Amino acid sequence: MTFRDLILFSMLTAPTCAFAGDPHSYANTDSVSVRALALDLNIDFADRRLAGNVRLDLDWKDAKTHDLVLDTRDLNIERVLAVGADGTEKKVDYRLDPRDPIFGSALHIALPDAAPAVRIYYRTAPTASGLQWMTPEQTAGKKRSFMYSQSQAIHARSWVPLQDTPSVRFTYSARIKAPAGYRVLMSADNDAKHALNGDFRFTMKQPIPSYLLAIAAGDLAVRETGPRTAVYAEPSVVAGAAKEFEDTESMIRAAEKLYGPYRWERYDILVLPASFPFGGMENPRMTFATPTVIAGDKSLVGLIAHELAHSWSGNLVTNANWQHMWLNEGFTTYVENRIVEAVYGKDEADMQRVVDEGEVREEMAKMSANEQLLVPDLKGVDPDEGLSGVPYNKGRWFLRFLELRYGREAFDPFLRGYFDHFAFRSIDTDQFLAYYDEHLAKRYPGKVSAAEVDAWLHKPGIPADAPVSVSPRFAAVDTARTRWLDGELAAKDIGAGTWVTFEWLHFLNGLPQTLPVDKLRALDEAWKLTGTGNAEVAFRWYALTIRSGYTQARPAIAAFIERIGRRKLVLPLYEALAKTPDGLTFARAIYTKAKPGYHPLTQGSVERVLAEKPAGERQ
């Protein structure tokens, strides 16, 4: 079929949405959209609430429609006012639908006419899914409480009533009040020299989708790392974090050289407490990052390259809904790899791809056919639970396939033009295909067939003709692993003293699912893997020890799980432990201690794992 046929086929076979335009939003965006948002909120650490009001400026597409439907989850709506063209405000009727466990409650506001704005007074729930409240004891400094948001994918609705869909973009302003001595930060124009007087004001003039709305408050210090970069973190963490991320400006320049100017003015990083459920969150102007990437040797700063890459793919050009998440994460993972290559060299980029390709193949082997698609059917599915390596690594692999077929001399200008053309817009896969057809496929005919593109986008698995990445440095790792497994080489002689993180990941990923305890003990004694400060190495090592019954690592596993709330690192360990009765008992004991410090997203995921009985106990 032609590419235009492929685009039409994609439109006809796309999953049906539960709600207009976005299967995860109640908002009536076909009639009206929010174009600007103004927050006025107080942070109450004692009650674990945000309270105040939000003004939503509206763009009416259908003047005959006077109803406004917004997304909420567990919000206490106190009153709603229609704002007239002259600024006068009038109370109007509203209703909240019954709560859906995934989507929350639709807020229906009845307006006498197409009002230019509404103002909603409300309070959040202490259990808001998008907010993490931490006691002083749960922070590094033990001095002040801490609060931060995590709005992706559909958690913004738990702390602001709004159209919680990436298809809608808005500018915003905010006035946030907090106790004196606290620093408040948002995904906006933060001032490093702002007095800690409890009264903070913010403006975000570039339009963003709701999942990039972000806030944090706590005992935070700041260190400048470049002309447009800084690191915020708790005082005991900030110096180490600033050193770890000192190459950020070099990463920005590398990305700009490839894909055009950085359009968000500043790129600052907030290092959150270890409970943060993700590696990083690409909130514009203020990336939220886990402390688990601070290894002391910059070995894990690829995560910062990833979050920075979102400044082009995701934040600038955004998936219209979460079924098209590969447009955010696949493009970002590809751009991340190009930034790593430009800043740290081809060897590092090659190793990253080899590890990613191996891990996504292994992950997909356990997935349903739908879960393996770049554009899956997510109707009725919580997008948090739909997260996997597929949109990230299969998406990146697809773009790498296109790069190699067309050559960088053609593909790089295409990608830069794509970011320019769709800047500050939200799009779907069909729009990408139309742009690809016009600006790459037609200009270079015969390079890639429509069937090949269709296989990547709409078929499970990895296509048979996918380019397989190789790393010359991994050949020595493979040899050392084989000789050690065969008993030809002692653990202390495998030559890992100069290995970087990716070499360790490749070594561990290539081991059998289980190994004899004495074999693991020898490896551990030689290279001190139990207790390592490298979180990526640690979680793979600990998973192997659990599967193999190497119980000597259990105290370190307990400490690791209690200290870290990043879902990618702790959830597989809980899953491995839960497969045996003894392991499940151990896991539940750990979770009892760890739960207060976990984000609600992590709590929900872990509790689902621990609710299952081990296979040996099922009847």
pLDDT of residue 614: 65
Rounded distance between C-alpha atoms, residue 326 and residue 165, angstroms: 16
pLDDT of residue 347: 95
Q: Please give the annotated binding residues for a peptide, written as ranges.
A: 150-152, 277-282, 566-568
pLDDT digits (tens, 9 = 90+) for 491-521: 999 999 999 999 999 999 999 999 999 999 9
Question: 136 lies in a domain?
Answer: no
Q: Please give the annotated binding residues for Zn(2+), written as ranges.
A: 306, 310, 329
Do 277 and 296 fall into the same domain?
Answer: yes
Rounded distance between C-alpha atoms, residue 403 and residue 416, angstroms: 13
Helix (H) or strand (E) holding 133: strand 131-134
Categorize the per-residue pLDDT at 14 as very low, low, confident or very high, splitting at 50, 70 and 90.
Answer: very low
Do 305 and 364 fall into the same domain?
Answer: no
Lowest mean pLDDT among 149-153, 202-206, 335-339, 379-383: 379-383
Taken as a whole, the chain contains a residue count of: 619
pLDDT of residue 236: 95
CATH code, domain with 227: 3.30.2010.30
Is 220 within 8 Å of 185 (Cβ atoms)?
Answer: yes
Do 230 and 182 fall into the same domain?
Answer: no
Rounded distance between C-alpha atoms, residue 162 and residue 382, angstroms: 18
Do 511 and 555 fall into the same domain?
Answer: yes
Of 326, 334, 305, which is closest to residue 389 (Cα–Cα)?
A: 326
pLDDT digits (tens, 9 = 90+) for 34-52: 999 999 999 999 999 999 9
* pLDDT of residue 99 exceeding 70: yes
Question: 161 lies in a domain?
Answer: yes
Question: 2 lies in a domain?
Answer: no
Q: Which of 458, 485, 519 is the last residue of a domain?
A: 458
Do 287 and 334 fall into the same domain?
Answer: no
Question: 516 lies in a domain?
Answer: yes
Rounded distance between C-alpha atoms, residue 420 and residue 317, angstroms: 9
pLDDT of residue 108: 98
The verdict on whether 406 is a catalytic residue reads: no
Do 558 and 590 fall into the same domain?
Answer: yes
pLDDT digits (tens, 9 = 90+) for 241-271: 999 999 999 999 999 999 999 999 999 999 9
pLDDT digits (tens, 9 = 90+) for 195-215: 999 999 999 999 999 999 999
Expressed as residue numbers, the domain containing 200 is 27-128+144-208
Do 524 and 490 fall into the same domain?
Answer: yes
Rounded distance between C-alpha atoms, residue 426 and residue 432, angstroms: 11
234, 244, 307, 503: the catalytic one is 307
Do 569 and 602 fall into the same domain?
Answer: yes
pLDDT of residue 6: 34
pLDDT of residue 10: 34
DSSP letters, 292-361, are GG--SSSTTTHHHHHHHHTTTBTTTEEESSGGGTHHHHHHHHHHHHHHHHHHH-HHHHHHHHHHHHHHHH
CATH code, domain with 510: 1.25.40.320
Do 33 and 160 fall into the same domain?
Answer: yes
> Looking at per-residue confidence, does 295 or 183 come out higher?
183
Do 277 and 339 fall into the same domain?
Answer: no
CATH code, domain with 448: 1.10.390.10
Do 376 and 305 fall into the same domain?
Answer: no
Categorize the per-residue pLDDT at 278 as very low, low, confident or very high, splitting at 50, 70 and 90.
Answer: confident
**% of residues, the chain, pLDDT over 70:** 96
The verdict on whether 452 is a catalytic residue reads: no
Do 170 and 301 fall into the same domain?
Answer: no
Q: Which of 273, 303, 320 is the last residue of a domain?
A: 320
Categorize the per-residue pLDDT at 230 as very low, low, confident or very high, splitting at 50, 70 and 90.
Answer: very high
- Count of domains forming the chain: 4
pLDDT, averaged across the chain: 93
pLDDT of residue 5: 34
122, 148, 392, 406: the catalytic one is 392
* pLDDT of residue 1 exceeding 50: no
CB hemisphere CA count around 582 (13 angstroms): 5
Rounded distance between C-alpha atoms, residue 34 and residue 12, angstroms: 29
Q: Please give the annotated binding residues, written as ranges.
A: 150-152, 277-282, 306, 310, 329, 566-568
Question: 7 lies in a domain?
Answer: no
Question: 505 lies in a domain?
Answer: yes
Q: Which of 423, 458, 493 is the last residue of a domain?
A: 458
pLDDT digits (tens, 9 = 90+) for 561-595: 999 999 999 999 999 999 999 999 999 999 999 99
pLDDT digits (tens, 9 = 90+) for 216-227: 999 999 999 999
pLDDT of residue 617: 58
pLDDT of residue 385: 78
